[in-house]
Structure 1
Amino acid sequence: MSTDTAGRLQGIAFRAFIALVFAFLLLPVLIVLITSFTPQSFPVIPQEGFSLKWYDELLTDEQLLNALTVSLIVATASAILSAIIGTIAAIGFVRGEFPYKEQIANVMLLPMIISPVITGIALVRYFSQINLPSGFPALVLGHTVLSLPYVFLLVRSELLTYDQDLERASRVLGADPMTTFRHVTGPIILPAILAGAFIAFVVSFGEFTATQFLIAPGTSTVPVVIYTMLRTGLTPTINALSVILIVVMLVVALASRKLSTS
């Protein structure tokens, strides 16, 4: 067998392997998508016909719509807070000099490393000490803690890699620090800030484990409501909601990718 033929066969085998991996990863999503259009009361494959019945039911399900509203509010608020706090922290860690800077930076990444169960318990204990009520305040602050490291990492990496001579030139030309940040540093790191905010939104929107400790009546998020519904039985309404969430997450992911590469 010639070298060219062997190379082509290896390429075909590699592409086939990649296709199998993607098929394995996407098959559950495809099943959810297909069964969301079933006319039957229980999602099965093969299904009999095509129907938008469960999407109609989703639009009239007050519990799911309320949970969706709560998730959107909490995810948006925590993403904004994470973007603000994470950017300020990243600038402080890159520009400032203080003892144990790297060790403290590693501590800031702990919410990404330790179990959300431990984080949830710790947040509940802390919020009870400062008399912070459960519900929206606890959810927003708790999700900010969980999503902040992503913004911090992205903005810090951007600050470490871009040319700081641009800032020095701005200062030499007479600009004060705020003007330099507004016209030089800010526009350069803005894609990283926005990408981090989008990731924070996705993390908050899908967070379930720690959220269980922070909710109050009327402030359940979508993951918590879905889990509660699954305990009583799987219905195609959950699949319809899942399809909508998948579409939302895809839009957010594509927007984040576009911003991070712009």
Structure 2
Amino acid sequence: MGSITILVVDDERYAREELTYLLGKFPRVQVVGEAESGEAAILKALQIHPDVVFLDVEMPKMNGIEVAKTLSGFKKVPLIIFATAYPQFAAEAFRINAVDYLLKPYDERLLEQTIERIEKTLSPAPTADSMEKLGKLAIETGGDIDYILPQNILYIYRDDKVTKIITQTDGYDVRTTLKELESRLVPFSFFRIHKGYLVNLKYVSRLTPWFNGAYQLELEGLEQKLSVSRNYVKELRQRLEL
């Protein structure tokens, strides 16, 4: 996948400039256009066909929800990220399949998570041929190299400067970053439930509401419950449920 093209839509110029600046910190992202109104956003999207539209909700005449509904009828439907100062619109935003919902002022950490979610959504699904060529995951432990089947991994988490891999029978400490392991395990059913946790979805047995929109997750054969950040709940359920 090449650059991710983005259209920034906001009726306030300074808000557009701030978001464009923050998005410029991500090497795979390219802001290819801006629009100051809903009507202008639709015309611009028709011209440049962006991969993603960062869309303000509260705009005069035509608001962001109305724009998103119009864009959903395009031949190439862009991913929608709502960016607004009004949290009360979140429920309606997700009803029209928005990928994410960012509140102003922007939190750079949450913006990074949004970009990661966009990259996952736009990444092509692995083919059967590519799956057949995949081998085992190499784990260096004390000079030795252990090979483990990704299918046998329950979950992976980051603990200080060490990444811990928990399988059905063993645990491994490695220096490899969680992000690098996540990229190597893309063809398999792994999902980030928290900034520091990856789980193998094939072992998920239960989700339990916790607090502030977060959930607790249970894995087959594991007594410990893992926390699911509320930012990942919607996508997790989409991945798990028929």
User: Which range, TM-score by smaller chain?
Assistant: under 0.3
Give the structure-2-normalised TM-score: 0.27
Give the structure-1-normalised TM-score: 0.26
Compare the two structures and name the one with the higher strand fraction: 2
